[in-house]
Amino acid sequence: MEKNINKVNVIYPLSDDHINAAFIDMVSAGRGSMQYFLGDSKQRRKIFNSCINKDRILAAYIDSKLVGYASFMIDGKGPYTPRFKHFRSEFGILSGAWRYLAFIMAEKHSHSTGFYLYMLLVKKSARRKGVASALIEAFCQEAINRNKAFVELEVTNKNLEAMRLYEKTGFIPTRVIDMKWLHAFFSFSALITMKRYVCDKRESK
């Protein structure tokens, strides 16, 4: 089967050599679920491309070709640390201000969990070959290396493919957040928190 032919290589930590144009293009378009606030992929690229934290990103390669990535948040820091000036230059002062505020609030929400899978993306041409599964295993290994007991993520109730992937890789749903009036700003009506224990809770924090 194709899955066995393709050898997925997940790299973490990344060196400066990995941070090339293809990498920046792929990673800086993230946070698509916040499109209402952060703009389309072109606008998100402009906001994020100069403030990517490579120490929060795992990259997946097949035959030396970048095919996907996973990013995470820990200690209050995720894969992007944009400043207000990035939003201002894209949206102007007023529009930039409330969008920046929305971004900060979303970051704080993600930070409230421990070791958090922030983004997971596989190129369309490389899907169903085990790339996301390999990224998740490497992410969980990183949690073990950092002596974490569990990892968490959030998935929208509309993303059934991702939910299937997470269930298959050992995550269990622990909470459902009803978006209520916020539904007007997002394409989904609920966020599901999922958790996977990665090592013995008694030995870790």
Ligand X SMILES: CC(C)(COP(=O)(O)OP(=O)(O)OC[C@H]1O[C@@H](n2cnc3c(N)ncnc32)[C@H](O)[C@@H]1OP(=O)(O)O)[C@@H](O)C(=O)NCCC(=O)NCCS
Stretch that binds ligand X, among 16-24, 122-130, 137-145, 183-191 (CB under 6 A): 122-130
Q: Binding of ligand X at residue 58 (CB under 6 A)? A: no
Among 29, 62, 155, 194, binds ligand X (CB under 6 A): 155
Among 41, 95, 133, 193, binds ligand X (CB under 6 A): 133
Please say which residue, 164 or 201, places its beta carbon nearer to ligand X: 164
Q: Binding of ligand X at residue 110 (CB under 6 A)? A: no
Please say which residue, 49 or 133, places its beta carbon nearer to ligand X: 133
> Smallest gap, in angstroms, from Cβ of residue 138 to ligand X?
12
Please say which residue, 159 or 204, places its beta carbon nearer to ligand X: 159
DSSP for the chain? -HHHHSPEEEE-SPPGGG-SHHHHHHHTT--GGGHHHH-SHHHHHHHHTT-B-GGGEEEEEETTEEEEEEEEEBTTB-SB---HHHHHHHH-HHHHHHHHHHHHHHHHHHHTSSSEEEEEEE-GGGTTSSHHHHHHHHHHHHHHHTT-SEEEEEEETT-HHHHHHHHHTT-EEEEEEE-GGGGGGSS-SEEEEEEEE-S-GGG--
CB 166 within 8 A of CB 140: no
Please say which residue, 101 or 172, places its beta carbon nearer to ligand X: 172
Among 29, 58, 122, 198, binds ligand X (CB under 6 A): 122
Q: Binding of ligand X at residue 165 (CB under 6 A)? A: yes
How many residues comprise the chain? 205
The residue with its CB nearest to ligand X is: 132
Contact set with ligand X (CB under 6 A): 120-122, 127-133, 155, 159, 161-162, 164-165, 168
